[in-house]
Amino acid sequence: MLLNNRFEILEQLGQGGFGTTFLAADTHMPSQRRCVVKQLRPETPNQQSYQMALQKFQEEAATLEQLNHDQIPKLYAYFEQDGLFYLVQEWIQGQTLGVRVRQAGPLPEADVLQMMTQLLPVLDYLHHHAPREVIHRDVKPENIILRQSDQKPVLIDFGAVKQLLKTVVSSSGNVTCSVVIGSGGFMPPEQAAQRVVYSSDLYSLGVTAIFALTGRLLGDLEKDSRTSELLWQQYAPQVSPAMAAVLTRVTQLDPRDRYSTAHEMLQALQGLTPVSPTLISPAAPQAAVTVFDAFSGSSHQPFGGSPSEASISSVTSSIRPRRPLNAAAIAAGLVALFAASALGASVVIMAQEDRGKDQGKEESTALLKDARSLAMNGKYQAAIDAAAQVPSDDQKLHAKAEQSIEVWEALQTAEKLAGEGKKGDAIATLLKDIPANAANAEPAWEKVAQWSAVDLGSSMDQVLKPLNVPNAKRKLANLDARRRADVEPKTAAKPIQTQLGSSPIKTWTKNWPQDDQPTSADLKSDPKSWGDPWRESYAFASDKMAVNVLYGCTTNVIIQTEVQLDPSLSLDLMKTQLDQMLAGQSTPSIISQLEKARRGEAVDATFNTGDLRGVIRRTAQNRVQIRVRKA
C-alpha cells in the first residue's frame, strides 16, 4: 500500500484506540529511509466537527514540525487521505522503558536518575523554548524509547494530537474535545479535569520514575490515608532519601506543591549522586618483587619504581651491621640474585599473558557489542560477520557469539518471510530455530509478539485480511455460504488464508468452551459482536504456539484474543507476548502468575488491568494459556 503517493507501508507496528502505526519506506528519498506512519481516526459526529478537527490537526502538526530537539522524533510529513489523518515521523529504534522494566525488572537508581536528567531538558524545551510552548500530556513508560544507538530516552506520542481526534462542534458553535488525554496511573488529577499545567508532565515523569524503580504501576501502590502520598519506597528500599524526596514532591496531588518547572526539578536532581549499581573494587596493588642485596644491604625492585613502604621497612629491619663476607656468602648472594631475577622474569611473562587475555576479552566483548548493535538495526548479515570474528579462546564469549549468530540467521530468514506476507511461517522459523535460552534473542521474541498481534476492538478483516475471499470480507456470500450453518463446512473444505496461515471458521454454539462464552457484561457492552461470534485459530511450529481469535460475525470487531504456548518456550518470549496482548498494562502480579504457569504449577488466575480482563492458566493439555477481552 502506498500512502500519499510516497510512503510504502512495510508492516503494522501497533494499533490502539486512536489509530494504527505502521513502518514505512519513504520512496521519495534515495535511501528509502524507514519512517513511522501514524494513521489517526477522527471520531466526529458531523462534517462541521470533522472540518474543525482537520484544522486543529494541521495546526498541531505544524507545531510538531517546528520542534527541533535530538530527543523528539522529527516530523517528516502530515496529510489527510480518505477521511483519515496521517503523521510521518522519524523511526526511533530501541525498546520502550516499559518493555525494558518488564523484561529486566526494576532499574537501579543511577539509571533512573540518568533517565530523568536526560528527559527534563526535553520537557524544559517543550514548555519554555519551543517555537510554541507545548505540554506533552502523555509522559509514560510506553512513550519513552531508549534509543538503541546511545540509550538516550526519546519522547514520543504527543497527547494534543490525540485530543483533537474527538473534536465536537455543538449547534451553538462551541468547540469541545470529548476525550481526556493521558494514561491511567500516570495522569495527574488536574489532567482528568482537562486542566493541564507544566507540572502535569512532571507528575507523569515522577510516576514513571517510580514505576522504573519498583516495577509497579500506580494501581499496585497504596496511598497514605492522611496525606494521599504514594507509598512506594518499601518496594525500592535501596533508593536514597534524597531521590525519594524529589519523587515525593513531584507526585503531590496539588500542582502548587510540585516543582513548578522542569528546570527547577533538574536542579534538585543534579545534586544527587546515588551509589552505582555496579560495585567496582579498587585494584589490588601489584606485588613488587623485592631483592635484598647481600653486598650493599639495600633493596631493589627489578622492574623499576620504588618499593612499598612496608617492603623497605621489612628489609631495613633485617639489616645487620656489616661484617666481612666470605666466598660462601658471596656465592649464596649470587644464587639468590639470579633466582630472584628468574622469578621476576616469570612474573613479567605471566603479567603479559594476563594482559593479553584481558585485551583479547575486551576485543571480543566489543565485537559482540557491535554485532548486537548491527542486529538491532536490522543488519543481520553484518552482525553475523562481526560475531563470527570472536575467537574460540574465551569459551563463554565464543558460545554467546555462536548463539547470537543462530538468532540472527533465524531473524534474517524470518524477516524475509514476513516481507513476503508469510508472518505465520516467519513466527514458526523463530520458534523452531532459536533455543529458549539463546543469547540476544529479545528482538526475535519481540517480532513473534508483533507479527502475531491481534488487537481487541480492531477489524478482523483489516488485521487478518482474508487473502482467498472476494473483496477480502468475511461475509456469507463471499464464503460461498447461503446460511450461517454452511460456514463451518465450507471453510473446513476451503480454510481462510491470512498472513498467519490458514484456519476454518467456527461459528458459535452453546457447546463452545466456557472460556469463549459471553458473560452478561459482554452482552451488555457489545451485544452485536457477542451475540453471534466466530472463531479462527492459527498454530505455529508444530503447535508450539497457537493464536485463537473471537470476532463478531456481523460487526467484524475482535472481541477476544488468546495464545497457547508450549512451556518449553522462553519465559522472555511469554512475557513479551503478554505485554503485547495487554497493550503494555501487565503488572508484576500478572507476570508472577505467568511464571508459575510456565513452571507447571496448577494456575487458573483471573486478572483485571486497565480496561482489560483475562485469564492465565496451565491447561489440561499442558499449555500456558493467556486469554484477554475488554473489561
- DSSP per-residue string spanning 523-580: HHH-HHHHHSEEEEEEEETTTTEEEEEEEETTT-BEEEEEEEE-TTS-HHHHHHHHHH
Grid coordinates of 202? 512532571
Task: Give the Cβ contact number of residue 593 at 10 Å.
Answer: 22
Crossing angle of helices 380-387 and 395-419, rounded to 10°? 160
Euclidean distance between CA atoms 413 and 420, whole angstroms: 11
Euclidean distance between CA atoms 553 and 386, whole angstroms: 51
Picking from 545, 581, 586, 588, the residue whose alpha carbon sits closest to that of residue 436 is 545
Assess contact for 115 and 209: CB atoms under 8 A.
yes
Listed in sequence order, the residues at least 6 apart from 206 whose beta carbon sits closer than 8 Å to its beta carbon are 246, 247, 250, 251
Amino acid letter at 387?
A
Euclidean distance between CA atoms 380 and 427, whole angstroms: 17
Euclidean distance between CA atoms 255 and 139, whole angstroms: 16
Euclidean distance between CA atoms 143 and 22, whole angstroms: 16
Out of 26, 111, 124, 138, pick the active-site residue.
138
138 catalytically annotated:
yes
Euclidean distance between CA atoms 106 and 34, whole angstroms: 32
Listed in sequence order, the residues at least 6 apart from 104 whose beta carbon sits closer than 8 Å to its beta carbon are none
Euclidean distance between CA atoms 374 and 389, whole angstroms: 14
Picking from 595, 593, 600, 628, the residue whose alpha carbon sits closest to that of residue 614 is 628
What is the CA angle 138-142-144, rounded to 5? 80
DSSP state of 129: I
User: Can you tell me whether residue 506 is helix, strand or coil?
Assistant: strand
Euclidean distance between CA atoms 394 and 357, whole angstroms: 9
Give the CA distances from residue 131 to residues 38, 64, 67, 174, in Å, rounded to whole numbers and listed in that order. Answer: 23, 10, 7, 28
Assess contact for 98 and 153: CB atoms under 8 A.
no
Euclidean distance between CA atoms 398 and 387, whole angstroms: 9
Grid coordinates of 466? 482474508
Query: Is 162 annotated among the ligand-binding residues?
Result: no
User: Can you tell me whether residue 474 is helix, strand or coil?
Assistant: coil
Euclidean distance between CA atoms 625 and 617, whole angstroms: 5
What are the φ/ψ torsions at residue 321 (nearest 5 degrees)?
-55, 145
Euclidean distance between CA atoms 194 and 184, whole angstroms: 14
Assess contact for 378 and 415: CB atoms under 8 A.
yes
549 strand-pairing partners:
536, 561
Euclidean distance between CA atoms 2 and 21, whole angstroms: 14
- The helix (run of H) or strand (run of E) holding residue 264 is helix 262-270
DSSP state of 619: -
Crossing angle of helices 588-599 and 571-581, rounded to 10°? 140
Residue numbers annotated as active site: 138
From the annotation, which residues make up the binding site for ATP?
A: 38
Residues marked as binding? 38
